[in-house]
Amino acid sequence: MAEELRRTGLYDLHVEQGARMVPFAGWDMPVQYPAGVMAEHLHTRAQAGLFDVSHMGQVLVVPSDGVLSSAALALESLIPADLLGLAPGRQRYGLFTDPKGGILDDLMFANRGDHFLLVVNAACADQDIAHLRSLEGVEVLPVTDRGLVALQGPEAAPVLAALIPEAADMRFMDSRSLDWRGQKMWISRSGYTGEDGFEISVPEAVLVDFATALLADDRVAPIGLGARDSLRLEAGMPLYGHDMDRGVTPAAAALGWSIPRLRRHGGARAGGFPGAQTILDELAGGASATRRGLRPEGRAPIREGVPIFPSADAAEPIGRITSGGFGPSVGGPVAMARIPAGIPDGDTVFAELRGKRLPVTVAPLPFITPSYKR
């Protein structure tokens, strides 16, 4: 018997909005609404899109001794990032790594004063919580009574400020707890689209009311997983299970920037996380292949799994597409692949699609200019 899909607290609202629901990471999620993926994508770039991301895992990590630095150092034994130096009310991106140097998951972590809030991928949440529970000196508390929504786009700030005025003062990667109708909303100014916006953890008791209040603004449209994927692809953002996994190192995923100098060879807190030797040696020497942007010619998208060759007649591929599709904002297909690091931007490689070799230009990431609130 197939496992029953879980539903977020916004399931009925999605159905009311005409969403087409699909299975995703064990959840019944909206892939698109009647307007369609293209319209949803462009609306988010022009105004504001509302995404249900309640399927993602929210986890509190609390120091047993009440000293936040204890939790920070414990988490640094699993995550190659600077948690100890993260100021209260700030958030960062990080990775869980494995002993071979592969990526177990990517996550966001925020310093909330006396504990850390982690947001992890839905498909990896159970594994990540078990991983965190291997730590000593911390309590690991999965959040089960809150939903999570993302409001993204150039109108996101004025829309949210109409409901929660203090949100307008937040900077990119700020994390704050703000009131709405007497309820605490955990808000970060961040997202997954390349646009300015917010991710908002909402108590289940007011989740539908809050989403409805946002959708009542004419600048806001509901956005499904289809447009979420095309938006993040244009923004050059990797997706776990596609552009990275346990077989991909941070350098190969082009995520070495998330590992600061103080955690690298010669740094004040170098290493001390799973796979450190492999990961840090590769960062020091450079990965042989890494995630790059590709712009196929024409308008036909080139999807995940398509092999990439160095020439029209080469016998062996040099990589495969890890994410690919049509980029509505750039007006053509875009893709990412791990290919040899020495190939310069602007060079032509070839994708083999249905037996034909199609020219593809190596392009810098991201494909759009991000508009974060600095």
Residue 157 falls within a domain, yes or no?
yes
206 and 308 belong to one structural domain: no
Mind giving me the DSSP string for 7-61?
A: --TTHHHHHHTTPEEEEETTEEEEEE-TT-HHHHHHHHHHSEEEEE-TTSEEEEE
Q: What is the mean pLDDT of residues 340-352?
A: 97
pLDDT digits (tens, 9 = 90+) for 220-245: 999 999 999 999 999 999 999 999 99
Residue 265 falls within a domain, yes or no?
no
Boundary (domain end) residue, out of 195, 213, 234: 234
Above 60 in pLDDT, residue 62? yes
Which CATH number is 340's domain given?
2.40.30.110
Residue 365: predicted pLDDT = 97
Above 50 in pLDDT, residue 217? yes
Which CATH number is 221's domain given?
3.30.1360.120
302 and 228 belong to one structural domain: no
190 and 293 belong to one structural domain: no
Q: Which sign, positive or negative, has the C-alpha torsion 114, 187, 131, 280?
A: negative
Boundary (domain end) residue, out of 219, 234, 249: 234
Residue 19 falls within a domain, yes or no?
yes
23 and 157 belong to one structural domain: yes
Residue 194 falls within a domain, yes or no?
yes
148 and 230 belong to one structural domain: yes
152 and 224 belong to one structural domain: yes
pLDDT digits (tens, 9 = 90+) for 129-180: 999 999 999 999 999 999 999 999 999 999 999 999 999 999 999 999 999 9
299 and 225 belong to one structural domain: no
Domain that holds residue 335: 288-369
Question: Contacts from 120-127 at CB under 8 Å and sequence distance 24+?
Answer: 120/56, 120/57, 120/59, 121/25, 121/56, 121/57, 121/240, 121/241, 122/24, 122/25, 122/26, 122/27, 122/55, 122/56, 122/57, 123/25, 123/26, 123/240, 123/241, 124/57, 124/240, 125/56, 125/57, 125/59
Boundary (domain end) residue, out of 216, 234, 252: 234
Residue 256 falls within a domain, yes or no?
no
Residue 216 falls within a domain, yes or no?
yes
Residue 300: predicted pLDDT = 87
Q: Which sign, positive or negative, has the C-alpha torsion 64, 68, 73, 78?
A: positive
Residue 1: predicted pLDDT = 45
- Percent of the chain beyond pLDDT 90? 97
186 and 39 belong to one structural domain: yes
Residue 302 falls within a domain, yes or no?
yes
51 and 155 belong to one structural domain: yes
Above 70 in pLDDT, residue 103? yes
27 and 161 belong to one structural domain: yes
Task: Name the H helices within 182-288.
Answer: 204-215, 225-234, 276-285
- Percent of the chain beyond pLDDT 70? 99
51 and 150 belong to one structural domain: yes
How many domains is the chain built from? 2
292 and 229 belong to one structural domain: no
Residue 5 falls within a domain, yes or no?
no
